[in-house]
Amino acid sequence: MNCHAMSMTLCLWLSAALAAQQSATLRIGTWNLEQLGIRGDPPRTEADHQAIADYIRKLDVAVLAVQEVGSDQALDDLCRRLGPTFRNVLGTTGGFSDGKGRVSVGFVFDSAKVELLHAAELLQLPTQAEGLPIFHRIPVTACFRARGGGLDFRAVTVHIKAGQKPDDFQKRRLEVSALRDWLATLLRSPGEDQDVVVLGDFNHSYETEAATLFQKDGVVRYLKSNKANDPTIAHFDAPIDMFAISRGFDEVVDGSYDAHNEDGLRDKATWQRVYTDHFPLTLAIAADRDRDPQATFTQEPPERRLPAEARPGRRDSAPVPTPTKASATEVDTLTTGSRVLVVTAEARVSGTLLRPLGAWVWVRDEQGLVRAFPVEAVREVRQGQQ
């Protein structure tokens, strides 16, 4: 734009109009980061971790669903590299059987572009079906609102069961069926916002039984590339990372699906060494309008909610309230690994304390599920069992 060739008023008006046009959409994405923070073969260098952050910035996403995150610290480090406005939400499941690391799912988001309304793990989903364990990596849901715009939406990040054994195929079918049933029930709730995207590593492609089951009754539909062959993973041609959008998500921009695989396909070995064996996907959504502005999002109960974090050491400056203890002696003895009873207005949960007391109380309950309670919802934490 040449402001010398026009009046300054007109130039400023056009600049504002262009800026408004550019901000009228948000980009969201998904990327399996292949054991971020714990990958040993090959190990990532400091430069590799920086390259991942640089690539995410190049994607220009407001929200990025991530899979295979090896630790809270790894995702905090990624946010530190992305910049001061980036935050993250990370699930607690996906731990390895030897206890050495995990591959969890979550979100990275730019708080300058979107506001996080709330986030939670879908701990109500079954962990067993037809005699098989399912949802080793429990999906995480987060609701966002565009800053300065009209759109709000729910995103659900998934990492469906991998593998090619008969049980693996059955577990995928069971997982997507349970997730679809949860979503169908949610969307039938009175006043529920219909803008939902499920995104992540589905470990199946479009022409599979799992895909048919997930799209049953039209609750969601997969978005597809316009290319005949558009892989999302380096190992084979069929896409396994996908977006599935709800029937009512009208704000998705047609034709905006993009699999960013050009660099990876050009040199797979280098791509996998530096980044991951998956390619990122992005999608544009209109942020300046909302088809159902009066709709709301059902919130998960406090014990399922997840906090948002930013960089290592970042905590809100306000002092964190401490849950009530039975005695001063118990304050000293409530350390990680302690047997505790957590009391809220809605529940009494016995389990093992997983982290030091802080803004959230984390326990593994008697059924082996990880439960997280925001401190403001906790009436009492005491040593012992229910």
> Is 2 within a domain?
no
- Relative to beta strand 25-36, strand 63-69 is parallel
Structure tokens at 151: 């759109």
Quick one: 222 and 370 in the same domain? no
Quick one: 116 and 255 in the same domain? yes
Residue 384 confidence (pLDDT):
74
61 exposed, middle or buried (CB, 10 Å; 0-12, 13-18, 19+)? buried
The helix/strand/coil state of 86 is strand
Residue 338 belongs to a domain with what CATH number?
2.30.30.520
Q: How far apart are CA 10 and CA 14, in angstroms?
A: 6
Residue 70 belongs to a domain with what CATH number?
3.60.10.10
Residue 98 confidence (pLDDT):
80
Residue 103 confidence (pLDDT):
96
Residue 270 confidence (pLDDT):
97
Chain centroid to CA 183: 16
> Is 232 within a domain?
yes
**10-residue block means of pLDDT along the chain (386 residues)?**
45 40 80 96 95 98 98 95 96 87 96 95 96 97 89 97 96 98 97 97 97 97 92 95 96 96 96 98 92 91 84 36 44 72 82 75 75 74 73
State the helix-helix crossing angle for 72-82 and 46-59, rounded to 10 degrees.
Answer: 60
Please give the C-alpha separations between residue 287 and each of 75, 149, 199, in angstroms, as whole numbers. Answer: 26, 5, 18
Quick one: 340 and 198 in the same domain? no
> Is 1 within a domain?
no
The helix/strand/coil state of 110 is strand
Quick one: 59 and 163 in the same domain? yes
Domain count, the chain: 2
Quick one: 144 and 246 in the same domain? yes
- Among 371, 237, 375, which Cα is nearest to 316's? 375
DSSP 8-state symbol, 62: S
Quick one: 277 and 162 in the same domain? yes
Residue 146 confidence (pLDDT):
94
Phi, psi of 163 (to 5 degrees): 110, 165
Quick one: 245 and 326 in the same domain? no
- Relative to beta strand 220-222, strand 140-146 is unpaired
The whole domain housing 198 covers 23-303
Q: How far apart are CA 29 and CA 280, in angstroms?
A: 7
